[in-house]
């Protein structure tokens, strides 16, 4: 099996490569950016599986996935992430990814997932998706749910921004979006809807 691991964290990259080599997968190329991954594919031919870190340089969300799939001639490309939500995982699969691997996945499970995807199957860790779904409300994203919780607690945008380590302008955008999704005229009504429906 030929495997390409692209991650800008040296430790993550090296740990995955060392573990897989110990398990008998010895043809592994490790790079630290999307551009380096695309270069490796063009220079050495397609891989049985390409693992891309969702947040590394050059990825630009799922644009990097599309570029890698094209370069790898639509052979399996999967997303690897330590921070992405279940929504991102679902979007990646919809965009053609062979799977989504959270960095919290155990080493044996990761090995099974890699073999599974290289064989042409799609991998999504059930426990991760189930756990992540609990953090969201209805059709709100995880972040919108956190902002809504702040509204229900009567916090200002500034306080919510401080709690979530975000800019106040970002909170305003989230409030606008969640009001639209909840069909609320303003933040107060959004909080009332959340309380009345027992959403949080």
Domains of the chain: 2-132 (3.40.50.2300), 142-196 (1.10.10.10)
pTM of the full predicted structure? 0.67
Contact residues for 119 (Cβ-Cβ < 8 A; gap 6+): none
CA distance 184 to 77: 40
Q: Where are the alpha helices (DSSP H) in the chain?
A: 10-22, 34-44, 63-71, 86-94, 107-118, 126-133, 142-152, 157-164, 168-182, 187-196
Q: List, for residues 151-189, the tens digit of each pLDDT value.
A: 999 999 999 999 888 899 999 999 999 999 888 999 999
Q: Which helix (H) or strand (E) holds 79?
A: strand 77-81
Burial (CB count within 10 angstroms: exposed 0-12, middle 13-18, buried 19+), residue 92: buried
Q: List, for residues 49-71, the tens digit of each pLDDT value.
A: 999 999 999 999 899 999 999 99
Q: List, for residues 2-58, the tens digit of each pLDDT value.
A: 999 999 999 889 999 999 999 999 899 999 999 999 999 999 999 999 999 999 999
Q: What pLDDT was estimated at residue 56?
A: 93
CB 13 within 8 A of CB 40: no
């Amino acid at each position: 099996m030929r495997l390409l691991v692209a991650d800008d964290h040296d430790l993550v990259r090296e740990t995955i490569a060392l573990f897989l080599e110990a398990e008998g997968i010895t043809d592994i190329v490790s790079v630290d950016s999307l551009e380096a991954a695309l270069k490796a594919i063009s220079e050495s031919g397609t891989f049985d599986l390409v693992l891309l870190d969702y947040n590394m340089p050059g990825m630009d969300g799922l644009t990097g996935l599309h570029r890698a799939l094209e370069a790898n001639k639509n052979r399996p490309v999967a997303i690897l992430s330590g921070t992405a939500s279940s929504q991102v995982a679902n979007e990646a699969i919809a965009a053609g990814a062979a799977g989504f691997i959270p960095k919290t996945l155990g080493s044996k499970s990761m090995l099974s997932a890699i073999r599974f995807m290289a064989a042409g199957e799609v991998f999504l860790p059930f426990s991760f998706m189930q756990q992540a779904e609990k953090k969201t409300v209805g059709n709100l994203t995880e972040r919108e749910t956190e902002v809504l919780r702040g509204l229900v607690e009567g916090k200002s945008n500034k306080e919510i921004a401080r709690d979530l380590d975000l800019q106040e302008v970002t909170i305003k955008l989230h409030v606008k979006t969640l009001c639209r999704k909840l069909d609320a005229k303003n933040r107060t009504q959004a909080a009332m809807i959340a309380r009345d429906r027992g959403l949080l």
